[in-house]
Amino acid sequence: MNIDIEDINDNSPTFESNTVRISVPENVELGTALYVVSASDRDSGKSGTVTYRLSNGSGGSMPSSNANLVTSNSMTSNNLFSIDSSTGHLTLSQHLDFETSQRHTLIVTATDSGEPSLSSNLTIFVEVQDVNDNLPIFERNEYTIKVLESTPINSQVN
């Protein structure tokens, strides 16, 4: 007599850590993999198959597995980042701008395919690195000053 034991979905996906910090230059190319999210699930079969999505910071999630949401210090902006639902590759969907926002917080939800499905979250803190991408700007088009002829070379004038 053989007894088959079926695995029930009693384990949530787990991340190695609850938070991750990454630093990204503001001029990184769109589509570049910024980070690879990885969660494991101790269940077998479909209960152990994990998919990923970006979720909003208030606990709810967006419906599509490739839905995008990022919370920054100053605002919430959609479509800046995306995640491949099966590989966990986090990529940039729109260009970053250090002068607009220096930090972003992403919530990645890993969900297994069991019945009922179980999930867990990973918080990714993204620091945007400034790149010299803005020309200097003068306050006025012309400046007029008077300098004495006897002023020594290399003197400061204002």
Q: What is the DSSP string of 29-83?
A: PTT-EEEE--EE-SS-GGGG-EEEEEE-TTS-B-SSTT---EEESS-EESSSEEE
> Quick check: 86 pLDDT over 50?
yes
* Model confidence pLDDT, tens digit, residues 4-30: 777 788 899 999 999 999 999 999 999
Q: What confidence score (pLDDT) does residue 158 get?
A: 75
Q: Which residue has the higher pLDDT, 61 or 99?
A: 99
Rounded mean pLDDT of 72-94? 77
| pTM assigned to the model | 0.72
The whole-chain average pLDDT of the chain stands at 84
Distance of CA 15 to the CA centre of its chain: 16
